Amino acid sequence: MRIQSVELRHTKMELVSPFETSLGVELYEEHIIVRVDADGASGWGECVVEPRPSYSSETLDTAWHVLRDFLIPGILGIEIRSVEDALSRNAWVRGHRMARAGLEAALSDAFAKTQGISLSALLGGTRSQIPVGVSVGLQPSTSELVRVVAGYLKDGYKRIKIKIAPGRDIPLLEAVRKEFPNIQLQVDANSAYTLKDVELLRRLDEYDLQLIEQPLEYDDIYDHSVLQSKLKTPICLDESIRSVSDAKAAIALGSCKIINIKPGRVGGYTESKRIHDYCAEVGIPVWHGGMDESGIGRAGNVALATLPNFKLPGDISATKRYYKQDIVEPSFEVDSDGMMAVPTKPGIGVDVLQGRLEKFTVRREAFRA
Ligand code: NPG
């Protein structure tokens, strides 16, 4: 496959409702959509960087720079035999995982399309539908939280994740558990606590949580091992796991019992699969996280989550949970059993709506061989 051109688009899409976490409030999602054209196929990927370096140290501008000045020149005009072949040409680039993941996603879609197979099949997926959950942001009041959770349960979701932050934790769980004693419930702290909060975090054990996600520092592994030894609730690491070597260290130290995989955070599908396979080998379940992707990124997430060790429902929700208008069709839906169907057409399996994409593009740059 010869890479003829690559296009970057900075997109800005309005979320259906503000999404508040311990990191701040988001009203819009701004990402970079990557398009790769090769052998008559267009491959699409979503680089999940944000304008500010809050969740990750990358930003829209750093990713744009690294893509434009290093990653794209490394593959443009080149004949590649496989996605791995393309990646090997940029293997010298350190860090900048979200930038690399966006390009790998677009290359993988193009490659799957030229082979006439689905992205799920290319990645080694084994399922035609996947269990999905929903991530609920911090709400203005506890009663509003209960109302929002009730709505999602009615929509079919079988697993609810709620965001917590210091001062907005135990009362939320108390209210949600009182109303819904038997649902699969997990919490996500996005690094908002420290080891000084051990006593408070131990109280989470009373709420029968499936897991607590990333309670401590975003780049910590050791303190999480201290915390895990004091909690019954399994810790799941998100921000701290950037590579398979982080996963090995975290598992060896007992810092977590579950791992969240986001291809953007770890540098792409290939590294995601390494983490997935290592965790499968040592009996650690993984699940797929989300970054409020448009349908392009979501389609990639769905494909990756068809691999067998994705044991828990992912943060891969229906299109309508995020956007009134998406840039792909058909939209992603969740059924009454909390399952999402995996597209079967070649590549990401959904069609990109050019008019919509144009409407949401705030900056564009194209590179030709
Ligand atoms: O369903 O895509 C989704 C959102 C899931 O909560 C979610 N994502 O910390 O995992 C997270 C959080 C997030 C979203 C983080 C956007 C950073 C940006």
DSSP assignment of 92-142, as one string? T--S-HHHHHHHHHHHHHHHHHHHT-BHHHHHT---SEEEB-EEE---SSH
Mean pLDDT estimate for the chain: 97
Mean pLDDT of 8-15: 98
The class (CATH top level) of 122-341 is alpha beta
Q: Give mean pLDDT, residues 286-304.
A: 98
**What's the pLDDT score for residue 25?**
93
Pinpoint the residues of the chain covered by CATH 3.30.390.10. Answer: 3-116+352-368
Catalytic residue among 158, 161, 257, 262: 262
pLDDT of res. 159 = 98
Is the distance from the beta carbon of residue 289 to the nearest atom of ligand 1 less than 6 Å?
yes
C-alpha distances in angstroms, 314 versus 18, 150, 306? Answer: 21, 19, 11
Q: Which amino acid is at 256?
A: C
- Residue 207: band (very low, low, confident or very high) from pLDDT cuts 50, 70, 90: very high
pLDDT value at residue 44: 98
Helix (H) or strand (E) holding 85: helix 83-89
Which of 292, 296, 332 has the most ligand 1 atoms within 8 A of CB, as the residue to mutate? 292
Per-residue confidence (pLDDT) for residue 324, from 0 to 100: 92
Contact at 8 Å (CB) between 19 and 162? no
Please tell me the residue having the least CA distance from ligand 1 atom 3.
290
- According to the model, what pLDDT value does residue 194 have? 98
Q: What is the band of 320 on the pLDDT scale with cuts at 50, 70, 90?
A: very high
Res. 215 pLDDT band, cuts 50 70 90: very high
356: three-class secondary structure by DSSP: helix
What pLDDT score does 245 carry? 98
- Output the pLDDT for position 310: 98
Question: What is the Cα–Cα distance from 100 to 67, expressed in whole angstroms?
Answer: 8
Is 324 considered catalytic here?
A: no
> Ligand 1, closest atom to CA 239?
9
Alpha-carbon span 206 to 221, nearest angstrom: 25
What pLDDT, on a 0 to 100 scale, did the predictor assign at position 68?
A: 98
d(CA 189, CA 183): 19
The boundaries of every CATH 3.20.20.120 domain in the chain are: 122-341
Is the shortest distance between the CB of 332 and ligand 1 below 6 Å?
A: no
Looking at residue 102, what is its pLDDT?
Answer: 98
* Confidence category of residue 94, pLDDT binned at 50, 70, 90: very high
What fold is seen in the domain 3-116+352-368?
Answer: Enolase-like; domain 1 (3.30.390)
The whole-number pLDDT of residue 321 equals 96
Q: 290 CA to middle of ligand 1, Å?
A: 5
Distance, CA 292 to ligand 1 centroid (Å)? 6
Residues 6 or more apart whose Cβ sits within 8 Å of residue 133: 157, 158, 159, 160, 161, 184, 186, 312, 313, 314, 315, 317, 338
